């Protein structure tokens, strides 16, 4: 156990050195999050498919309760109950499109060094052209239910339920429940509850009211999470525990073109359509998944209906809600309808990442609208939504309530629609006549393998160095 504690001390010192200008100390978070005995309790597991290059290398690390798929290296790190999903990594021979195309000379790998990822999702592929074959996370700590999506990090701290998306960060702090997609950031501190998307053509920015945000997601003096959203997830954690007790479970009834991960919870009268992807650590209870829809990691769909080709991004929670066709529900959103007072999302809507809809009465959103921020009643709709056509007409700037948008609205909408199509294509929603295979088809036959740590001695809690390749 002594070497495990030394590992944690080393991670703390490296991250603190990178964040010294902010006078930010990660020690309280680490020591109040990691219970060393729990790091012995859960095995790690990795998946093998014929569709993904195979390479796993774990060295001087703890990876308790974590899931790995695709090419991964973990060195001198603690990756606790995290999902490292490398099924969208770039392949040898592909080119990164840009001013000058960059050919890949080897398969991309997720590389995690001197970092602590606590109940964190890592997914997609690196959008850092400086290291096209490596999705790197170094000297970084991320807290409960953060998302690291296609983002390389060096010397950063991500607060609970934070998301960094398709970008690169150096010596940055991202506050709890913030979503950032802003290219490359150096030595920045992002306030809690910030939703910020920026590129050369547009900028979208919204910041939650502090008093509202703290009810849903806040942190105490040890940077441990609290609030309605955290309680929602915490209350359902035990439902996943049984999945770790046995290796083989009865298969879930689903069409042959759909994939339901063995580490997903499916309860109640749930129905799964064609070309549907249910990822690991997704939670469905009396959910209807229309054809081509998906439930990504850490999503919760309860007493709700998703029509065709709906995307539920990582960490989104959909309760007592009816979602129309071709909708996007963004990262870590919380759609909290009530029994008998459903939320209705019209067709073609884009619900921005980290949106909270929590109304005591029924609430309905028109088709083809952008939705963001906090909506506590039907009266809030006018200040938290805009028709996509109206946004597309913006050429300079727009302010609605606490949201500001600058730039070309048409480019923003087109970029979003292109990305949604790419997600549907990657997930296999558009599969037909053996064309457009994606995760829903390729992930049907994953074999799972277990790894366990040392149980005694100085290395207690560490996993033996293991290299697994074809």
Task: Say yes or no to pLDDT of 257 above 90.
Answer: yes
pLDDT value, residue 248: 67
Long-range contacts of 194-202 (CB under 8 A, 24+ apart): 195/352, 195/353, 195/354, 195/372, 195/373, 199/415, 201/407, 201/408, 201/411, 201/412, 201/415, 202/405, 202/406, 202/407, 202/408, 202/409, 202/411, 202/412
Q: Please, where in the chain does CATH 2.160.10.10 lie?
A: 2-235+446-468, 252-396+415-442
Give residue-wise pLDDT tens across range 394-423.
999 999 999 999 999 999 999 999 999 999
pLDDT value, residue 399: 97
CATH class of 252-396+415-442: mainly beta
Burial of 177 (C-beta count, 10 Å sphere; 0-12/13-18/19+): buried
Average pLDDT over residues 228-249: 85
Task: Say yes or no to pLDDT of 99 above 80.
Answer: no
**H or E segment at 419?**
helix 409-427
Give residue-wise pLDDT tens across range 154-194.
999 999 999 999 999 999 999 999 999 999 999 999 999 99
Task: Say yes or no to pLDDT of 353 above 90.
Answer: yes
Q: Which CATH number does 2-235+446-468 carry? A: 2.160.10.10
pLDDT value, residue 102: 84
pLDDT value, residue 11: 97
């Amino acid at each position: 156990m002594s070497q495990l504690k030394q590992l944690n001390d080393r991670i703390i010192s490296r991250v603190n050195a990178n964040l010294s200008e902010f006078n930010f100390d990660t020690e309280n978070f680490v020591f109040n999050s990691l219970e060393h005995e729990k790091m012995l309790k859960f095995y790690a597991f990795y998946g093998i498919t014929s569709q993904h290059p195979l390479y796993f290398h774990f060295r001087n690390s703890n990876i308790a309760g974590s899931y790995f798929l695709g090419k991964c290296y973990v060195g001198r790190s603690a990756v606790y109950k995290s999902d490292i999903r490398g099924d969208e990594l770039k392949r040898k021979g592909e080119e990164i499109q840009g001013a000058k195309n960059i050919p890949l000379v080897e398969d991309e790998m997720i590389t995690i060094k001197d970092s602590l990822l606590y109940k964190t999702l890592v997914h997609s592929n690196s959008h850092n052209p400086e290291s096209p074959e490596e999705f790197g996370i170094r000297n970084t700590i991320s807290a409960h239910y953060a998302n690291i999506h296609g983002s390389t990090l060096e010397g950063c701290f991500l607060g609970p339920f934070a998301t960094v998306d398709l970008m690169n960060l150096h010596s940055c702090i991202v506050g709890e429940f913030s979503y950032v997609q802003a290219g490359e950031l150096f030595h920045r501190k992002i306030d809690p509850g910030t939703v910020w998307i920026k590129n050369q053509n547009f900028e979208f920015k919204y910041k939650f009211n502090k008093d509202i945000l703290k009810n849903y997601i806040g942190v105490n003096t040890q940077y441990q999470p609290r609030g309605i959203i955290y309680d929602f997830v915490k209350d359902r954690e035990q439902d996943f525990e049984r999945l770790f007790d046995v290796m083989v479970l009865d298969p879930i009834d689903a069409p042959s073109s759909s994939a339901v991960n063995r580490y997903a919870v499916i309860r109640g009268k749930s129905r799964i359509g064609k070309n549907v992807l249910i990822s690991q650590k997704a939670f469905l209870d009396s959910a209807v998944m229309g054809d081509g829809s998906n439930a990504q990691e850490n999503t919760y769909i309860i007493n709700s209906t998703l029509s065709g080709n709906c995307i539920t991004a990582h960490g989104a929670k959909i309760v007592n809600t009816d979602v129309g066709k071709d909708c996007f529900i963004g990262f870590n959103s919380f759609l909290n309808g009530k029994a008998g007072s459903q939320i209705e999302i019209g067709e073609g809507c884009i619900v921005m990442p980290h949106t909270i809809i929590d109304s005591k009465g029924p609430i309905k959103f028109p088709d083809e609208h952008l939705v963001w921020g906090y909506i506590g009643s039907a009266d809030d709709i006018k200040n938290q939504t805009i028709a996509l056509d109206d946004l597309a007409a913006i050429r300079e700037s727009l302010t609605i309530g606490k949201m500001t948008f600058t730039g070309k609205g048409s480019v923003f909408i087109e970029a979003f629609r292109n990305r949604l199509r790419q997600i549907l294509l990657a997930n296999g929603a558009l599969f037909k006549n053996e064309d457009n295979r994606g995760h829903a088809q390729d992930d049907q036959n994953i074999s799972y393998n277990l790894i366990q740590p040392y149980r005694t001695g100085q290395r207690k809690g560490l996993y033996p160095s293991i290299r697994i390749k074809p």
